[in-house]
Chain A
Amino acid sequence: MPLSSSIQEPVLDIQNLSIEFPGRRVVAGVSLQVGPREIVAVIGESGSGKTLTALAVLGLLPRQARVTGGRIMLHRRPMLELSANQRRDLLGDRLAFIPQDAMSALNPMLSVGDQVGEPVVLHRSSTWAAARQIAVELLRSVHLKEPEKRTTDYPHQFSGGMQQRAMIAMGLALEPELLIADEPTTALDVTVQAQVIRLLREIRDEHGTSILFITHDLGVVADFCDRVYVMYAGRVIEEGAVDEIFYNPRHPYTVALLAATPSATERVAQLNAIPGQIPAAGELIAGCVFAPRCVRAQPSCREVPPEQEMEQGHRVRCWYPGGKT
């Protein structure tokens, strides 16, 4: 269910976030909100800053990266001002993370059951015996077959899809307010991807968990999310309800991205490729970041692009947005 208005207090509220590596600004003034029970996608290609934005919320930015401006609130908690200990109390409890590569996120030396139950021990002072019982139930809730038998297995005995289910079970252990998933299905086969996505949706429906979903896959966004932020070169260039973005894209980049995506369900005679390439991370561009590749670009685009509100909740950073189709 889409965020109807700003009356509802968002679970996650990012305002004007900027992130720099030494000498390179890689995220520039990103604002983003996730409402209660909302599934919000951040879509972008390499270097768009989508993953760094997510990592900043978690306080897991790479060592060289620095937040140089902005504010991140998780239910009124100022995430950027928390001490390491305070943040650790939240991670795995109120805020959970599902990474792209479950295999490397799981500890190969610990059984899956112990890892899935660990948040309960760490945050709720449960005993390990009780945590293992909870782990069985969690693994059952993510539709792992025969969870009683599988809890003593090690990660390498799981398939890629099962590992991702175990990561999701771990994330759900304490019913977090917000689940951040960074390309959780990219490494999976399409049929397994469909199952994982169905599972995430079910979790939102049953537990009311808000989900921030980082992806490069337009298809997944269309099938699964309520609202979407399109990022390009460290900036949000268009945002709106999924239907708005797919039926009525306004930013030339969003339009071009849709036209450049091949389809399995429709015959496409000719793909319209976007000329040029994605700017290198942190490359300084005066004015609109997409102007060098944009078919609609005018000289004025070399200046700072405005933020325009098209319809309610549909924002575009472009001087010459495409018309309603």
Chain B
Amino acid sequence: MTLLEIENVSKRFDPGGFFRSPGPLAMNNVNLSVEAGQTLGIVGESGSGKSTLLRTVLRLIKPTSGRIIYKGRDLWALRGAELQAVRREVQAIFQDPASSFNPRQRIGAILRAPLDVHGIGQRNERNDRVAETLIRVGLPPEFAQRYPHQLSGGERQRVAIGRAIIMGPSLVLADEPTSALDVSVQAQILNLFRETQKSLGLTSVFVSHNLAVVRYLSDRVAVMKQGEVVESGPSETIFANPQHPYTRALLDAVPDPRRHRSRTSSTIRAGQLSA
């Protein structure tokens, strides 16, 4: 079953002002679809439009044209109760939880907020659910009493995953969920993300500039460049046998310790890329 369809979506940021010429296309005619239970990774460099795309699905940025279909309904045409229902099912994880959490709220309140907003369960039921969620993301339930600044970066990102899954969503959208973390902690969060997704049967779309992270997490991959999807397909096909020159250039440019181990000379392969 197709859970999410992005149909001919374009976005032009209007610089405003009567005499200004219209801005460049941040997204140009993007078409993608995500099957239920799958993970779509969107990879691209800065300015490729990958975050803009994610934000149009989150209803944070309105597309200039095109439609976003979630479970057969146009996401941007929804109103009232239907929209509320979709908001329960679609959750987000951002890059830097330090700036996406209220510093004056305790972790418990941060996790409970979605339940409060949507009026789910009684107060003590909500607290139980907070404790369960903390355990699920690998944190002790006592963390509910702490403030975000008392947590490390990895622990905060666990809380962010917890906040996204506490509503029992169908679709989780993540924007560079591990790029602020150190390698040894990143691996923990990537594994948690994968396990959580599998055990809850979540569908996810995530955006990253890190090709290694995308390869590890994704079933399918879309490569974006200057607002367009230049190549998309099953993750292993794209990484093993990239077709588009830009995908190949990206892969060639990634320095990789594992590749080093499979080579004898230390010639810099990345050097072959021209400006």
Name A residues whose Cβ lies closer than 8 Å to a Cβ of B.
45-46, 143, 145, 160, 189-191, 193-195, 197-198, 201, 216-224, 242-243, 246-247, 256-258, 260-268, 270-275, 277-278, 293
Contacts and interface: CB of A to CB of B under 8 A. Distances in A.
Interface string B239-275: 1100000000111111111111100001011110101
Contact of A216 (B183, B187, B257, B258): B183
Contact of A261 (B152, B212, B251, B268): B212
Residue among A246, A256, A273 with the highest chain B CB neighbour number at 10 A: A273
Given A45-B183, A271-B187, A273-B187, A223 B273 contact: no
Residue among A195, A201, A224, A261 with the highest chain B CB neighbour number at 10 A: A261
B261 A247 contact: yes
Given A194-B253, A265-B258, A271-B191, A242 B45 contact: no
Given A190-B45, A198-B271, 15 more contacts: A46-B182, A143-B275, A191-B250, A191-B253, A197-B268, A216-B183, A218-B257, A222-B256, A223-B270, A246-B257, A258-B257, A261-B183, A262-B190, A271-B191, A278-B185
Nearest to B249: A191
B150 to A, nearest CB: 12
Given A222-B255, A257-B184, A278-B184, A189 B270 contact: no
B186 interface: yes
A257 B258 contact: no
29 contacts: A189-B45, A190-B209, A191-B249, A193-B253, A197-B271, A198-B270, A216-B183, A218-B183, A219-B254, A222-B257, A223-B260, A223-B266, A223-B270, A246-B257, A246-B261, A256-B184, A257-B183, A261-B183, A261-B212, A262-B186, A262-B190, A264-B254, A271-B190, A275-B188, A277-B152, A277-B185, A278-B182, A278-B185, A293-B184
A262 B187 contact: yes
B230 to A, nearest CB: 14
B271 A267 contact: no
A260 B186 contact: yes
B254 A201 contact: no
Nearest to B191: A273
B183 to A, nearest CB: 6
Given A194-B273, A265-B256, A271-B216, A45 B184 contact: yes
Interface of B: 45-46, 152, 154-155, 182-188, 190-191, 209-216, 236, 239-240, 249-261, 266, 268-271, 273, 275
A268 B261 CA distance: 15
A238 B157 CA distance: 30
Contacts of B240: 267
Residue among A143, A218, A256 with the highest chain B CB neighbour number at 10 A: A218
Given A201-B268, A219-B257, A271-B190, A45 B251 contact: no
Contact of B236 (A267, A270, A293): A267
Given A197-B268, A198-B268, A264-B239, A45 B187 contact: no
A190 B250 contact: yes
A216 to B, nearest CB: 7
When A and B form their complex, which 6 residue pairs have the shortest distance between CB atoms, in order from nearest?
A: A194-B270, A219-B255, A222-B260, A273-B187, A260-B187, A264-B211
A237 to B, nearest CB: 13
Residue among B183, B236, B273 with the highest chain A CB neighbour number at 10 A: B183
B227 to A, nearest CB: 15
Nearest to B47: A189
A265 B255 contact: no
Contact of B268 (A45, A191, A223, A267): A223
B256 A264 contact: yes
A231 to B, nearest CB: 12
Contacts of A270: 191
Nearest to A275: B188
A142 to B, nearest CB: 12
A29 to B, nearest CB: 22
A216 B185 CA distance: 13
A197 B266 CA distance: 13
Contacts of A274: 184-185, 187-188
A55 B73 CA distance: 56
Contacts of B269: 223
Nearest to A243: B266
Nearest to B264: A243
Nearest to A272: B187
A272 B271 CA distance: 31
Nearest to B43: A264
A256 to B, nearest CB: 7
A216 B182 contact: yes
Contacts of B258: 261, 263, 265-266
B188 A273 contact: yes
A264 B184 contact: no
Contacts of A256: 184
Contacts of A262: 186-187, 190, 210, 212-213, 215-216
